[in-house]
Amino acid sequence: MTLYPANVISLVGPSGSGKTDLICRLVACLKAWGRTVAVLKHSHKTRLAEADSARAYREAGAQAAAAVGPNILQISRFQEKEPNLPEVLADLASKADVVIVEGYKQSPLPKIAFAAPGQDQIRLNASRVVAWLSPEPANSSLPVFLPEDTEAIGAFILNFLGISSPEAGPKTS
């Protein structure tokens, strides 16, 4: 079994469920609590790779391309297959207190999952689910949060990952 860094949690759900919006709110919340946050999005699209110049570099045989601008550095490595998830997460985890992953539903990462609307009882439909997000009350042996309850979800994440809660004050280095 592959080991993943201890400060990683995934947020999963169907397209359009609000994952990206919630992650943005969680990043702001955790940052306000003095935590650093990295985010990994599992996607079939890439911005830099779709740029005309990046496509030209890749077609010319470049192994990597970077875009630099005010307040941003984006590096894309071009390879034949998807990057190794544990290596990517280890790199991100070394740079942040918390890593939130959007996607990787089938991975062994711990997950907070959006429940399907209208379910009376939440059924486990993804491995390693540790909490649910539901706009409606739902029966589950796991915690269930309203998707809008950012602070409660953020506190749960910190507690689940074994990171001091916001009540304990900002993290000291």
- DSSP string for 86-141: HHHHHHHHTT-SEEEEE--TTSSS-EEEEPPTT-SB----STTEEEEE-SS--B-S
Domains: count for the chain: 1
Tell me if residue 5 falls in helix, strand or coil: coil
pLDDT at 56: 73
Residue 48: the pLDDT is: 45
Establish if 120 belongs to a structural domain: yes
Residues in the chain with pLDDT values less than 50: 46, 48-49, 121, 168-173
pLDDT at 2: 60
Q: Is residue 146 one of the residues assigned to a domain?
A: yes
Residue 75 placed within a domain: no
Closest CA to 111 of 84, 132, 89, 88: 132
CATH of the domain at 104: 3.40.50.300
Please tell me the number of Cα atoms within 13 Å of 53 on its side-chain side: 5
Residue 34 lies in a domain: yes
Q: Is residue 149 part of a domain?
A: yes
Domain presence at residue 70:
no
156 vs 111: CA distance, rounded Å: 12
The CA-based angle 138-112-89, given to 5 degrees, is 175
Whether residue 15 lies inside any domain: the answer is yes
Quick one: pLDDT at residue 54?
65
> Residues 101, 42: contact at Cβ < 8 Å?
yes
Domain containing 153: what range? 8-45+82-168
pLDDT of residue 126: 60
- pLDDT of amino acid 171: 46
CA atoms within 13 A on the CB side of 142: 22
Is 77 domain-assigned? no
CB half-sphere exposure, 157, CA atoms < 13 A: 29
Would you state the pLDDT for residue 29?
94
Give the other-Cβ count within 10 Å of 122's Cβ. 18
